[in-house]
């Protein structure tokens, strides 16, 4: 190995090799490369964002996602994992998720620990030298890789410095399938979602990865606020991953006048664990692509957020009791 912090594309080779010394422990670097709640925040060159449709990091598992370019174009991607050795190595095949499987290439990513840092190496191997050269020329693969690694380092720096994510845990005296149903069916969500003193109404409900739950909340003084979920991952009845945002009536993400400095999107992970015919619900939240100032505001509001979510989950508890009484 030459320089441990370099990007290589030698003439006549079918490979693009990226090496980077990351100032973070190997376990953490492996996590942000393999967990959807992390990789959605940094994957891709500058200006790109991602919608993850599925991500199952295991041999034979698939990661399907859409990359959204700064020019408004969307790029479908599909990764199929061949080898997963935590936290040492990933081997996968990457295509553009079309029948033709254009831009097919194989990737090996290795994670080597060295004095609390991680030596990361990514080997992209194309079918021919010509195909590799075309991807470099037409798609700017070398600069794209460099920018992606820069974004990875920036994201790692942010989460290393960030306070603990917002977490709330609640036990419900109801089976997991019923609690999951209350989170994933519009007729139930309309009965309990939101602060206690607000009345909500659902405008759009599309439960699928990439789908949107768009709703309004009417305050006691008659004001109307709009919000939306964008679903990222749905594993019934175990897990929901979605971003929450304030929005306008058309569903466009917008800041609210109540909180002018606040992250535009919050990534939420809700898990449902069954225990003795009861359900342990855990909700975790973290800002997405937020500025330092926005993150500070978010972290400063943990106490009020805990009170707000507690009230909302109280209403869910009451709704679940009503459902079970009706059934019985």
Q: Which two tokens stand for residue 45?
A: 């060159």
Contacts of 261 (CB under 8 A, 6+ apart): 293, 294, 297
CATH number of 6-161: 3.30.530.20
CA distance linking residue 312 with residue 310, whole number of Å: 5
Rg (CA), the chain: 22
Single pTM value for the model: 0.55
Q: Read off the pLDDT of residues 259-308 as tens digits, 9 standing for 90 and up.
A: 889 999 999 999 999 988 899 999 999 998 888 889 889 988 998 999 99
C-beta contacts of 316-322 below 8 A and 24+ residues apart: 316/172, 316/179, 316/182, 316/192, 317/170, 317/172, 318/192, 319/182, 319/188, 319/191, 319/192, 320/172, 320/173, 320/174, 320/178, 320/179, 320/182, 321/173, 321/174
- The CATH superfamily holding the domain 166-327 is START domain (3.30.530.20)
6-161 and 166-327 in the same fold? yes
Using a 10 angstrom Cβ sphere, with 0-12 exposed, 13-18 middle and 19 or more buried, the burial of residue 280 is middle
CA distance linking residue 193 with residue 203, whole number of Å: 14
Domain locations in the chain as residue ranges: 6-161, 166-327
φ, ψ for residue 144 (rounded to 5)? -60, -45
Please answer whether residues 202 and 186 qualify as being in contact, where contact means their C-beta atoms are separated by less than 8 angstroms. Answer: yes
CA distance linking residue 219 with residue 194, whole number of Å: 11
pLDDT per residue as tens, the chain (328 positions): 445 567 676 767 899 999 999 999 999 999 999 998 899 999 999 999 989 999 999 999 999 999 999 988 998 999 999 999 999 999 999 988 777 666 689 999 999 999 889 999 999 999 899 999 888 898 888 999 999 999 999 999 988 876 668 999 999 999 999 999 999 999 999 999 988 778 889 999 999 999 999 999 988 888 899 999 999 999 999 999 999 999 999 999 999 888 889 999 999 999 999 988 899 999 999 998 888 889 889 988 998 999 999 999 999 999 999 998 776 5
Q: Look up residue 185 and give its DSSP letter.
A: -
Q: Is the bond preceding 87 in cis, omega lying within 30 degrees of 0? A: yes
């Amino acid at each position: 190995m030459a320089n441990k912090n370099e990007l290589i594309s030698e003439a006549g080779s079918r490979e693009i090799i990226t090496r980077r010394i990351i100032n973070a422990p190997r376990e953490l670097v492996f996590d942000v490369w393999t967990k959807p709640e992390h990789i959605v925040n940094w994957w891709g060159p500058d200006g790109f964002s991602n919608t993850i449709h599925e991500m199952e990091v295991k041999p034979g598992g698939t990661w399907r996602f859409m990359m959204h370019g700064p020019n408004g174009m969307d790029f479908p991607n599909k990764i199929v994992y061949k080898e997963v050795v935590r936290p040492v190595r990933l081997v996968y095949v990457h295509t553009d998720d079309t029948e033709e499987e254009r831009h097919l290439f194989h990737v090996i990513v290795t994670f080597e620990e060295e004095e609390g840092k991680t030596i990361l190496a990514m080997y992209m191997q194309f079918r021919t030298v010509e195909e590799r050269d075309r991807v470099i020329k037409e798609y700017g693969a070398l600069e794209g890789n460099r920018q992606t690694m820069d974004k990875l380092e920036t994201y790692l720096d942010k989460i290393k410095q960030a306070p603990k994510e917002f977490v709330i845990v609640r036990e419900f005296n109801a089976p997991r399938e019923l609690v999951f149903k209350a989170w994933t069916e519009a007729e139930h969500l309309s009965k309990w979602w939101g602060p206690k003193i607000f009345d909500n109404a659902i405008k759009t409900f599309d439960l699928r990865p990439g789908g949107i739950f768009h709703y309004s909340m009417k305050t006691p003084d008659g004001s109307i606020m709009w919000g939306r979920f964008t679903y990222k991952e749905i594993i019934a009845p175990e897990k929901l991953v979605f971003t929450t945002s304030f929005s306008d009536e058309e569903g466009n993400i917008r800041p609210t006048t109540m909180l002018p400095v606040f992250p535009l999107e919050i990534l939420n992970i809700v898990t449902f664990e069954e225990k003795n015919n009861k359900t342990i619900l855990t909700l975790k939240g973290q800002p997405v692509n937020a500025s330092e100032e926005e993150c500070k505001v978010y972290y400063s509001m943990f106490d009020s957020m805990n009170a707000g979510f507690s009230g909302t989950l109280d209403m869910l508890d009451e709704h679940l009791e009503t459902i079970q009484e009706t059934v019985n």
